[in-house]
Amino acid sequence: MSKAVLDVRGLKKGFGAKFALDRIDISVVEGEVLGLLGPTGAGKTTTLRCISGLHKPDAGTIRLAGSDVTHVSPMVRDIAVVFEGFNLLPTLSVYENIAFPLRSPLYRVPEAELRERVTRAAEDLRISHLLDRSTDQISGGERQRVAVARALVRRPKLFLLDEPLSSLDLKLREALENELRDMHRRRGQTLIYASHDFLSTAAVASRIAVIDKGRLLQTGKLAEIYADPAHRRVGELVGSPSMALLEAKIRDRTLSIDGYSKAWPLSALRLESLANGTDVTVGFWPEDIDLVMTEAPDFSPTTLWATDFRGRDQAVEVHFGANRVRKVISIRTDLARGQSCFVRLDPAKAFVFASPNGDRLRPEGRRGPGNGVAS
């Protein structure tokens, strides 16, 4: 039974008239990597700053390894943070940067042990050869590793990474994501990784918390989120490409998607309580949408809008009615803008969201994941 390292309940934080965080609940168990996924301005940084103690929350509690640290000053909480930009001390060498936290009077680490821990952290991050350099002589990727080493050398209970990779080259980012996973595997360090990039988060995290506009929309393993997205925004933020969200209306006890040739009876979706005339949004994961180039029974016509070569496959965007769908398909060289394509949507794979607030309308008569459709 893994013990909880972090338990945040009801976190609220406002700045002046605006609120940045609204009732955030997060818990992280020992050894896990929690991904905090959300667009810029969603509140990821504010959340991390509250957890680390740099901001005082307006309400809520933060418990670290069982003790309440909500009002404890940051230097005393056993948390390490790596910020975007890394915040290395420019006047010190790499060795001194890594050693810095241990020199704080709070810890009073004897010099011999300090040396040993710094060298070990440097080995872990493979920067032992850089220890004597000054921080302006090393590359972006190396700086990130120094920042991580500096945070790790204290062996904190919890490690927070705030979008540490977004300023880096794509290839470097990939390499460092691998290293983070590697490092986590070897040391069992508990991590919260905040990012706006879905692929980056999914590559590193074991569980994902989706946050938008200060609210936590859903937390769970990626497979759970795929099976049961809680909100339309979750569909927009998760997946690459993200969920296809289609405008639809309830008419004559059936659900018709704008531009799609078939309508489905509400009973098939187990949403009989929806009234006629209601507007809803229907979401499909692109992988659940079938797309072909020639007419076929059960397929509805669409127009090809754009193609995007991705090397081993391509992404296409098709339009029908007021709706757009982006999907990844294998490479074809015969595609032209404006040509007809045909899509088939499976009501068993449909997720219905209320419009305009985006809440998921779960099938009636059954609680739990899945959309409960008998196909």
Residue 74 CA to residue 154 CA, distance in Å, equals 14
Q: Which of 261, 262, 263, 259 is nearest to 320 (CA)?
A: 259
Minimum CB–partner distance for residue 177 and another protein (Å): 10
Measured from the CB atom, is 214 or 239 closer to another protein? Answer: 239
Element (H, E) at 314: strand 314-320
Question: Rounded CA gap, 43 and 211, in Å?
Answer: 7
Nearer to another protein, 54 or 89 (CB): 54
The site for another protein (CB under 8 A) is made up of 39-40, 67, 72-73, 75-78, 105-109, 113, 139-140, 154-155, 169-172, 174, 181, 185, 196-197, 199, 202-203, 221-223, 226, 236, 239-241, 285, 287, 306, 308-312, 315, 317, 326, 331
The nearest distance, CB 119 to another protein, in angstroms, is 16
- Measured from the CB of residue 2, what is the shortest distance to another protein in angstroms? 17
- Return the number of the residue (1 or 75) whose C-beta is nearest another protein: 75
Q: How many CB atoms lie within 10 A of CB 164?
A: 25
Placement of tokens 């007809």 in the chain: 340
Least Å from the CB of residue 170 to another protein: 5
Q: Which is nearer to another protein, 203 or 348 (CB)?
A: 203
Shortest Cβ distance from residue 306 to another protein (Å)? 5
Closest CA to 358 of 235, 256, 233: 233
CB of 258 to another protein, least distance (A): 20
| The pair of three-digit structure tokens given for residue 184, joined into one six-digit string | 């986590």
Q: Which two tokens stand for residue 44?
A: 């990821």
Q: Which is nearer to another protein, 1 or 223 (CB)?
A: 223
Q: What SS3 class is residue 286? A: helix
Residue 62 and residue 71: Cα distance in Å, rounded?
9
Q: Nearer Cβ to another protein, position 198 or 353?
A: 198
